[in-house]
Amino acid sequence: MQQNEIKKERAVLICVDSGEYDAEISINELAQLAQTAGAEIVGEIIQTRKCPDGAAYIGKGKLRELKEFCDVNEVDMIIADCDLTSTQQRNLEKETGLRVIDRTTLILDIFAQRARSGEGKLQVELAQLQYLLPRLAGRGTSMSRLGGGIGTRGPGETKLESDRRHIRRRISALKDELRQLEARRERLRGRRKKNGVITVALVGYTNAGKSTLMNTLTNAGVLAEDKLFATLDPTARALKLTNGETVMLIDTVGFIRRLPHGLIEAFKSTLDEAVNADIILNICDASSDECEEHLKITNELLKELGCTDKPVISVFNKSDLTTQDYLRFTDGVSVSISALTGKRIDELLEKITAALPTKYHKASLLLPFSMAGEVAQLRENGVVHHEEYTEKGILCEVTAEISKLEKLRDYFC
């Protein structure tokens, strides 16, 4: 092994099947998350019981089985497919002698790897600290951050091992910084609205191909990998539609089952791109057996975010990898495409064009000089693309609300 080659941590996954959700599907997704974080999966243990054990998450018999498996297979860490209490984590670590993390810690670790912008890093740190704060008491080997590894990225040792007062101060400071960034983002949204810019947000389950679609439509150069949460920070690019109109296409963070509530709160300003968008593209992986479930999860999260009044186009991506017809899963507008091959991209653009809001319209006007005030109002509430003083009056090309233009219909040219 070369010196610069990083040895993967060997991990075993544990899950309690209480019937609350499909344990097999959930642990398979946990395996994908762990592999994305850089782990090598050496085993999975699922225990069927009415509820997780309050002391160690899994029962005593299963715990002995887990310890024996870890000893034989040289396991480095244990990952639980749920949120562990500090007591459960401490007892698991005590019995196995290994580092133990839970599902949320793993997701936060991946987010810490993926965050590139200053805002993204602040959001991840806030989510990590808010999750860790109530779990500080009695934390076991996971409190030692010097060794590094999965579940240790993000806030440094001094932040995690200091007292609650220091962590609360840091959380408060992070919230203040994010509020300032959110105010800046709101000003940007306001400027877009004033300029009549229509926004289209890409949302959907992680690894559904949002970044690939973004690159195909706009040549954005966004990182596109076959990994969960390959991209984290939002990207905005201009997209020219079939009618010649240009909209702003915005990529957003991917969704996942049981997305930690702290992440939804921390990334609210990013997710607000979907809330404030004029049109939403719900991207689904048509080649996945869980396509219908992923569509449902995304729709539920959109509902939670308050996006029920937006036009939503269900986009079934990776259709080149399947013969299944998933369009039957939707009652609304939908299209089956392949972002990688470009299959039916034209049809997608046509559906976006058809969904454009009719609040604004572009028009050419010839106004008398006495109506110069109207031009000022159009500039304030819309966009004046071109303005020229001629012998006959003020010739201008504008984008404004239809209701406003209707009052000036006599001056159309």
Residue 52 near residue 82 (C-beta atoms within 8 A)? yes
Spatial separation of the C-alpha atoms in residues 143 and 149, rounded to whole Å: 12
**Residue 3: per-residue pLDDT:** 45
Query: Mean pLDDT, to the nearest integer, of 168-176?
Result: 92
End-to-end CA distance of the chain: 73
Given a cut of 50, whether residue 142 has pLDDT beyond it is: no
Q: Of the given ranges (33-37, 129-133, 223-227, 355-359), which has the lowest mean pLDDT?
A: 223-227
Cα separation, 239 vs 66, in Å, equals 52
Residue 155 scores a pLDDT above 90: no
Residue 226 has a pLDDT of 59
d(CA 345, CA 336): 9
Domains of the chain, with CATH numbers?
9-116+135-143 (3.40.50.11060), 197-354 (3.40.50.300), 360-411 (3.30.70)
State the greatest distance between any 2 C-alpha atoms of the chain, in Å, as a whole number.
93
Give yes or no for residue 143 having a pLDDT over 80.
no
User: pLDDT class for 7, splitting at 50, 70, 90?
Assistant: confident
The residue count for the chain: 413
**pLDDT at residue 149 tops 90:** no
SS3 of 97-166: the string is: CCEEEEHHHHHHHHHHHHCCCHHHHHHHHHHHHHHHHHHCCCCCHHHCCCCCCCCCCCCCHHHHCCCHHH
Q: List all residues 6 or more positions away from 373 whose beta carbon is below 8 Å from its beta carbon.
A: none
> What's the whole-number mean pLDDT along residues 27-38?
92
Mean pLDDT of the chain: 84
Helices (H) and strands (E) in the chain, counts: 14, 13
Beta bridge partners of 222: none
Do 109 and 162 touch, CB atoms closer than 8 A? no
Pairing mode, if any, of strands 360-367 and 394-401?
antiparallel
Which range of 79-88, 154-163, 210-219, 230-239 scores highest in mean pLDDT? It is 79-88
Residues in CB range of 104: below 8 A, 6 or more apart: 83, 131, 260, 262
Main-chain dihedrals φ then ψ at residue 369, nearest 5 degrees: -60, -30
Q: Is the pLDDT of residue 16 over 90?
A: yes
Q: What is the average per-residue pLDDT within 275-289?
A: 89
Looking at residue 4, its pLDDT comes to: 47
The whole-number pLDDT of residue 146 equals 42
pLDDT digits (tens, 9 = 90+) for 239-258: 988 777 789 998 887 777 77
* Residues 59, 16: Cα–Cα separation, whole Å: 10
The mean pLDDT value for 12-18 works out to 96
Residue-wise pLDDT tens digits, 371-403: 999 998 888 877 888 999 999 999 999 988 787
Looking at residue 140, its pLDDT comes to: 46
Under the banding of pLDDT at 50, 70 and 90, the label for residue 84 is very high
- Give the mean model confidence (pLDDT) for residues 269-297: 84
Phi and psi of 5, rounded to 5°? -85, 125
Strands (E), 26-177: 39-48, 77-80, 99-102
Distance, in Å, from the CA atom of 162 to the CA atom of 168, rounded to the nearest integer, reads: 10
